[in-house]
């Protein structure tokens, strides 16, 4: 893929990540824009008449400290070194990769004043799978993701650590192996590398893509549970949803009908006239989460099309403007919203699990043939309840919090990085909740045999039963649950996406 100054979409990123050939290159037009911006800045600085924040001044509260021309390169190196203060766990590899790609993309718009060779080295990192070691804690989400991006930038100057070919090593050792020389940064480059929202945005795009995949899986798991519970299809009739036309709701109802329309179990005569909300309101709940996720996609796509460092250079207008594009509030709010949307999918999933083990609708208590002697599926629901509750706690919004920093110069921050890291925890928990529901749904469907569920669901159910077979008598279940999580995490859509 060629990276240019044209807009990049999330779908293009998803396609790149799924490709066997992930190599990227810098387009000629992007090189020209980057070089033009750099040349303009060098010319302007050589005049020695302007005071420009972060280029010939200190940073943050030290913005009024003028830096001599001869010290401007050292200023950028000092910036990266001093801001690399990350703590906590390491950022997952797939998110560090996205950070590299997103930083390249932001610099390609030609408003940041970096050298072409600096951007090319970031591309080299991507192409050779050289992943800087970045930590999850340290960013306030304004002035951008300073600390995580400092760790991302350190290897450019031959410092910090990377992971390469399965080994953690110093950037200096990596450079020696690759035959690379450290980049000699010019004025403004350190600030361009550190200012920006690429940590928050990388988390957001990763979670979004996985969350969208899980909405498809969630519909299918819910359909299996509904069938196992002898649920009714009336709540999915299109007429109901035409009169409340939320797109996600309409899509979900249609999906449920297509998945279960030919189910042998559904066609069994029912004595009950209504189902609990966790089944009856699947379109309304799943649909609302889908609509929320779709909104978050629009926010992340806009951010992907933007420049989020500071100051920004406008060559044609002969302007260098210092503003606040690094502020992560748009992402912080969206990430909090995304966490809530994902958590609700898990919350209703746990309720369906609870209903399946309740000993109603002709199913044995705890989905085991000999309840009492065997506890069956009693305790996986405890685990699900614990996880669902943790998700509710993680959904306390980060974006409403702020703590002043830099001696009160940076007096309102987004806390978007905290929103990002806890949103990933919610996503991971959602996989676990769907896994537990799938264990219970497949177990319950055994008691409906020889009747079978819908044709569209049978391949997934058969594949899952190879991983987690029927529980006839009590056995150690954590291994089954862990295998179920792996199944959920690796599941891909087995049929064409159902059109809403």
241 shares a domain with 102: no
* Position 56 pLDDT exceeds 80: no
* Position 88 pLDDT exceeds 90: yes
Q: How confident is the model at residue 493, as a pLDDT?
A: 75
In a domain, 85, yes or no: yes
51 shares a domain with 100: yes
| Residues 410-435, mean pLDDT to the nearest whole number | 96
More confident: 422 or 143: 422
* Position 255 pLDDT exceeds 90: yes
244 shares a domain with 168: no
Task: State whether the Cα torsion 101-103-109-113 is positive or negative.
Answer: negative
In a domain, 159, yes or no: yes
Residue 410's pLDDT band, with cuts at 50, 70 and 90, is: confident
Backbone angles phi, psi at 87, to 5 degrees: -135, 180
Cα torsion for 193, 198, 199, 205, to the nearest 10°?
-160
In a domain, 295, yes or no: yes
In a domain, 60, yes or no: yes
Cβ atoms < 10 Å from Cβ of 330? 19
223 shares a domain with 190: no
Cα separations in angstroms, 120 against 30, 34, 101, 107, 116: 11, 11, 11, 11, 6
- Interatomic CA distance for residues 365 and 385, integer angstroms: 18
In a domain, 423, yes or no: yes
211 shares a domain with 189: no
In which domain, by residue range, is 138 found? Answer: 2-195
Inter-residue contact 300 to 331 (CB < 8 Å): yes
351 shares a domain with 426: yes
- 51-60, 281-290, 449-458: which has the minimum mean pLDDT? 51-60
In a domain, 137, yes or no: yes
241 shares a domain with 124: no
- pLDDT over 90 percentage in the chain: 87
Residue 224's pLDDT band, with cuts at 50, 70 and 90, is: very high
82 shares a domain with 218: no
34 shares a domain with 128: yes
Q: How confident is the model at residue 498, as a pLDDT?
A: 45
Q: How confident is the model at residue 495, as a pLDDT?
A: 44
Q: What is the chain's mean pLDDT, rounded?
A: 94
Residue 429's pLDDT band, with cuts at 50, 70 and 90, is: very high
218 shares a domain with 72: no
Q: Residues 353-373: pLDDT tens digits? A: 999 999 999 999 999 999 999
Residue 210's pLDDT band, with cuts at 50, 70 and 90, is: very high
Mark which of 168, 195, 222 sits at the end of a domain: 195
* Position 305 pLDDT exceeds 70: yes
| Residues 463-482, mean pLDDT to the nearest whole number | 97
Residue 500's pLDDT band, with cuts at 50, 70 and 90, is: very low
Residue with the two structure tokens 């709701």: 249
- Interatomic CA distance for residues 282 and 104, integer angstroms: 41
| Residues 249-276, mean pLDDT to the nearest whole number | 96
More confident: 100 or 404: 100
In a domain, 498, yes or no: no
* Position 58 pLDDT exceeds 90: no
Active-site annotation holder among 40, 53, 164, 203: 53
Mark which of 170, 195, 220 sits at the end of a domain: 195
More confident: 438 or 143: 438
| Residues 232-253, mean pLDDT to the nearest whole number | 98
450 shares a domain with 326: yes
* Position 52 pLDDT exceeds 80: no
| Residues 481-497, mean pLDDT to the nearest whole number | 84
Mark which of 179, 195, 211 sits at the end of a domain: 195
| Residues 14-32, mean pLDDT to the nearest whole number | 95
* Position 499 pLDDT exceeds 50: no
Q: What is the CATH number of the domain that holds 180?
A: 1.10.275.10
| Residues 199-203, mean pLDDT to the nearest whole number | 98
Is 109 a residue of the active site?
A: no
In a domain, 428, yes or no: yes
Tell me how many degrees the CA angle 232-234-239 measures, rounded to the nearest 5.
Answer: 160
Q: How confident is the model at residue 497, as a pLDDT?
A: 46
62 shares a domain with 7: yes
- Interatomic CA distance for residues 16 and 1, integer angstroms: 7
Q: What is the CATH number of the domain that holds 322?
A: 1.20.200.10
* Position 106 pLDDT exceeds 80: yes
Backbone angles phi, psi at 179, to 5 degrees: 75, 30
What's the number of domains the chain is made of? 2
């Amino acid at each position: 893929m060629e990276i240019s100054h044209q807009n990049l979409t999330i779908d293009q990123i998803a396609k790149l990540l799924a490709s066997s050939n992930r190599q990227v290159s810098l387009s000629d037009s992007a090189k020209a824009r980057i070089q033009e911006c750099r040349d303009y800045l060098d010319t302007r600085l050589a005049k020695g008449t302007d005071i420009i924040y972060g280029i010939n001044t200190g940073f943050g509260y030290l913005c009024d400290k003028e830096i001599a021309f001869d010290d401007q390169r050292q200023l950028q190196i000092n910036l990266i070194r001093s801001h690399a203060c990350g703590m906590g766990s390491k950022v997952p590899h797939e998110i560090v990769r996205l950070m590299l790609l997103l930083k390249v993309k932001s610099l390609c718009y030609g408003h940041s004043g970096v050298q072409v060779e600096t951007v090319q080295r970031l591309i080299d990192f991507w192409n050779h799978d050289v992943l800087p070691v970045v930590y999850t804690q340290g960013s306030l989400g304004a002035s951008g993701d300073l600390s995580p991006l400092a760790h991302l930038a350190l290897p450019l100057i031959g410092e910090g650590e990377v992971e390469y070919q399965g080994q953690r090593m110093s950037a200096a050792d990596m450079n020696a192996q690759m035959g690379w020389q450290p980049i000699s940064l010019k004025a403004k480059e350190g600030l361009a590398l550190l200012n920006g929202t690429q940590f928050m945005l990388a988390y957001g795009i990763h979670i979004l893509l996985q969350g969208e995949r899980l909405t498809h899986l969630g519909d299918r798991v819910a359909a299996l549970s509904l069938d196992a519970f002898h649920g009714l299809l009336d709540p999915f009739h299109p007429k109901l949803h035409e009169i409340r036309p939320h797109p996600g709701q309409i899509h979900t109802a249609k999906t449920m009908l297509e998945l279960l329309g030919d189910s042998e179990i559904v066609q069994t005569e029912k004595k009950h006239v209504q189902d609990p909300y966790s089944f009856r309101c699947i379109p309304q709940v799943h649909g609302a989460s889908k609509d929320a996720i779709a909104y978050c996609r629009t926010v992340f796509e806009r951010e992907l099309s933007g420049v989020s460092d500071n100051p920004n250079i406008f060559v044609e207008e002969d302007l260098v403007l210092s503003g606040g594009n690094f502020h992560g509030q748009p992402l912080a709010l969206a990430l909090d919203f995304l966490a809530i949307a994902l958590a609700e999918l898990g919350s209703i999933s746990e309720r369906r699990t609870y209903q399946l083990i309740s000993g109603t609708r002709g199913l044995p208590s705890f989905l085991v043939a000999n309840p009492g002697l065997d506890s069956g599926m009693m305790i996986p629901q405890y685990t699900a309840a614990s996880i669902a509750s943790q998700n509710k706690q993680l959904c306390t919004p980060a974006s409403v919090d702020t703590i002043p920093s830099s001696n009160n110069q940076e007096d309102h921050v987004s806390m978007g990085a905290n929103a990002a890291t806890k949103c990933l925890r919610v996503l991971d928990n959602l996989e676990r909740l769907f896994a537990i529901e799938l264990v219970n749904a497949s177990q319950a469907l055994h008691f409906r045999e020889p009747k079978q569920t819908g044709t569209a669901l049978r391949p997934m159910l058969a594949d899952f039963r190879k991983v987690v077979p029927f529980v006839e008598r009590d056995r150690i279940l954590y291994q089954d649950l862990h295998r179920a999580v792996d199944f959920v995490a690796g599941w891909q859509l087995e049929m064409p996406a159902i059109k809403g």
